[in-house]
Amino acid sequence: MVDGAASLAEKPVDALSEAEAADELGRLADEIAAHDRRYYQEDAPTVSDAEYDALRLRNAAIEERFPYLKRADSPSERIGAAPLEAFGEVRHAVPMLSLGNAFNDDDVVDFLARVRRYLGLSADTAIICTAEPKIDGLSATLRYENGVLTVGATRGDGTVGENITANLKTIAEIPDRLQGDVPGIVEIRGEVYMTHADFQALNARQEAEGKQIYVNPRNTAAGSLRQLDASVTASRPLKFFAYAWGEISMLPADTQSGMVETIASWGFKINPLMRVCRSADEMLRAYSAIEMERSSLGYDIDGVVYKVDRLDWQQRLGQVSRAPRWAVAHKFPAEKAVTLLKDIEIQVGRTGALTPVAKLEPVTVGGVSVSNATLHNEDEIARKDVRAGDTVVIQRAGDVIPQVLEVVLEKRPEDSKPFKFPTVCPACGSHAVREIHPKTGREDVVRRCTGSLICPAQAVEKLKHFVSRNAFDIEGLGSKQVEAFYAEGRIMSPADIFTLQARDARSLKKLKDKEGFGETSVKNLFASIDARRSIALHRLIYALGIRHVGETTARLLARSYGSFQAFRAAMIAASDHESDAWAELTGIDGVGEVVAEAIVEFFKEAHNLTALDALLQQVMPEEAERPARISSPVAGKTVVFTGSLEKMSRQEAKEMAERMGAKVSGSVSKKTDLVVAGPGAGSKLKKAEEFGVEVIDEDGWLELVG
């Protein structure tokens, strides 16, 4: 252990090494993804929103400092979770974005500073924002055509939601027909929720009838809205606040506040606490005022949402990954509790990381029963001196399981002994080591099992990742089924999933005869597997489980290489760091050397290629989607921006290029088509001249793209 090293999870972002940042992003991605599933799909979160958002904030801060480490499965690229197949799908014409977060006054000031910087506004230009309570419910969108409600849906993963039209029509505060002068097409978005009084009355009825008692209003509202029988939803006292819009054929106002007032005139209930603020001080005063009223509102809120009022500025600001730049949620503080830590258990992940988990005496925190808490890593345990038998303070602060904040030392048993972190893998007995980063010489904060090819824990976790929602998403093949099938020898590799039906037909021990299965469930499972024999390229790349390659990076790679054959050939060629393939890979904006090295190492491993070949005999990767604007003068071209841009920020220019179908690279190579050079352009400009790449200035760029 490095002397005086702080726990990685507690370590300030600006103190993280490159290797530490990569590992921390991996931990955050896994924990947030699991929590998303519990919140959006199961309606059973184990953490408070404030604590959940703390993780997302840390993830964003690390990505800002190390943009080349951004993972393909980065939480900053995800919104919610995929819709359940029990409901029909609704593809949102305008994505339903989530929100970035602010946790203190400085974060709010920083939000305004980012807006000012991105738009290039002078220091004396006022940025007017709206402030409104953040309702703790379930987001929904309502599509009206000629004023009549036609479709209602959940957020889902932000792109595709669940069709719950019949259920939404049972809510009295959602009009079937809009009033007044309404655009031909308009999607109204808002939050479905349940008041405290209605929740208590519902639980009283449930108790009197000897039925299930519900945990909290948010989960109850979400569960009520996602009933397959709309009559069940109709029996629940649900309400709706409108606060936004999606697709709309004509905007009746040019400000956020004006739009919300118009939405109210169409027949929707809007939150009466919404107000317009002309400075950071006014925004913070609005936050304090709403927080003071929180306990008397009669419904749950978990913060205050600020939105830039001018719609033309919102349009220019656009979005970053899963969230708009023009809005932020200022969250309320997290909740804590005290309980007994009974034991410390070591879990082995798919990358071999040994993660310590605190097994707790169950305790209720914010209405949710908690029995596990993360201890993050070896250094975290040592720094806090956490031991079995300790009384600890826990906080639901964004982990899929809560975190241990501190030990109550005065309650420590006299026979207590320090926890000794294992140096061998508990799953396979292989050595567990902390790697030394080749560039910095610093010891990795995570201890990893070295038995990658023989470790059953890693194999099972990799299979779980392969079938997960953002990978192959095979309905009916979840974590429990993967564990059982692996233990029985039915599925040992990804290819085995797709040969399961054929092997089962030849086997004397049929899957339908296994406890918990039957002919119908087995038939459905085989159908789900067959439905994934054709798979989107980015999903396949993500499913491979390459270290540091999350969902976002997988999408970048898919867009950059187009087909799996091209991707594979390029990654093999990139093993030569002097090659054009390596330069092209590391030049992809969002893929740095650490990520590139991990991908190259994956394709250098013969065992991986053998497993991959077997898989490709069973599945057909689809080619990546082509740029939507084929007629754009830069569609399909690789563009590099260098130097200072004066009429827009670098990020705004990059997003403009990507919207027009261009690929934006961070470095100049022989495959670069265009370099946009501003004042101060240096080595990239020289390289462009060396390769004979076309160079234009910012005015030339704006003229080119119109």
Residues 525-573: tens digit of each pLDDT? 999 999 999 999 999 999 998 888 988 889 889 988 999 999 999 999 9
DSSP string, 142-180: EEEETTEEEEEEE-TTSSEEEB-HHHHTT-TTS-SB--S
The predicted pLDDT at position 116 comes to 94
Listed range (363-367, 432-436, 454-458, 465-469) with the worst mean pLDDT: 363-367
Residues 656-674: tens digit of each pLDDT? 888 788 888 878 888 889 9
The predicted pLDDT at position 257 comes to 97
Assess whether pLDDT exceeds 70 at residue 463: yes
Assess whether pLDDT exceeds 60 at residue 628: no
458 within some domain? no
State how far the Cα of 38 lies from the Cα of 218, in Å rounded to an integer: 13
The predicted pLDDT at position 263 comes to 97
Residue for token pair 């955050």: 28
The predicted pLDDT at position 2 comes to 34
Q: Is 264 helix (H, G, I), strand (E, B) or coil?
A: helix
514 with 606, same domain: the answer is no
233 within some domain? yes
Residues 272-314: tens digit of each pLDDT? 999 999 999 999 999 999 998 988 899 999 899 999 999 999 9
Longest CA–CA span in the chain (Å) reads: 81
pTM: 0.53
**Measured CA distances, 144 to 148, 178, 260 (Å):** 5, 8, 16
515 with 547, same domain: the answer is no
Catalytic residue list contains 134 = yes
Assess whether pLDDT exceeds 70 at residue 399: no
184 with 294, same domain: the answer is yes
State how far the Cα of 605 lies from the Cα of 513, in Å rounded to an integer: 38
34 within some domain? no
628 within some domain? no
Q: Which of 11, 70, 134, 684 is catalytic?
A: 134
Residues 567-593: tens digit of each pLDDT? 999 999 999 988 989 988 988 877 888
The predicted pLDDT at position 484 comes to 92
519 with 597, same domain: the answer is no
Q: Which residue has the higher pLDDT, 240 or 24?
A: 240
CATH number of residue 584's parent domain = 1.10.150.20
CATH number of residue 675's parent domain = 3.40.50.10190
596 with 648, same domain: the answer is no
Q: What percent of the chain has pLDDT over 90?
A: 47
pLDDT band at 494 (very low <50, low <70, confident <90, very high): very high
Residue 673 CB-density burial (10 A; 0-12 exposed, 13-18 middle, 19+ buried): middle
Contacts of residue 534, Cβ cutoff 8 Å, sequence gap at least 6? 619, 620, 622
42 within some domain? no
- Residue 534: how many CB atoms within 10 A of its CB? 10
Q: What is the mean pLDDT of the chain?
A: 86
Residue 272 CB-density burial (10 A; 0-12 exposed, 13-18 middle, 19+ buried): exposed
Average pLDDT of the residues in 242-248: 96
431 within some domain? no
The predicted pLDDT at position 79 comes to 53
Specify the amino acid at residue 627: P
Domain boundary among 621, 653, 669: 621
Q: What Rg do the C-alpha atoms of the chain give, in angstroms?
A: 26
554 with 665, same domain: the answer is no
Contacts of residue 39, Cβ cutoff 8 Å, sequence gap at least 6? 45, 52, 80, 81
651 with 689, same domain: the answer is yes
Number of structural domains in the chain: 4
281 with 144, same domain: the answer is yes
317 within some domain? yes
Structure token pair of residue 478: 């979840």
Q: Are the C-beta atoms of residues 360 and 375 closer than 8 Å to each other?
A: no
53 within some domain? no
Residue 115: name the closest of 359, 309, 265 by CA.
309
614 with 649, same domain: the answer is no
Residue 494: name the closest of 610, 379, 378 by CA.
610
Domain boundary among 268, 303, 331: 331
Contacts of residue 605, Cβ cutoff 8 Å, sequence gap at least 6? none
Report the DSSP beta bridge partners of residue 244: 189
The predicted pLDDT at position 1 comes to 32
The predicted pLDDT at position 398 comes to 42
Domain limits at 663?
638-705
The predicted pLDDT at position 400 comes to 44
Domain boundary among 531, 547, 568: 531
The predicted pLDDT at position 281 comes to 97
The predicted pLDDT at position 47 comes to 64
H helix runs in 399-515, sequence order: 456-466, 479-487, 494-506
Contacts of residue 487, Cβ cutoff 8 Å, sequence gap at least 6? none
175 with 301, same domain: the answer is yes
Listed range (324-333, 382-391, 443-452, 476-485) with the worst mean pLDDT: 443-452
The predicted pLDDT at position 388 comes to 95
The predicted pLDDT at position 72 comes to 62
Q: Is 223 helix (H, G, I), strand (E, B) or coil?
A: helix
Residue 178: name the closest of 146, 140, 139 by CA.
146
Specify the amino acid at residue 386: V
607 with 677, same domain: the answer is no
654 with 570, same domain: the answer is no
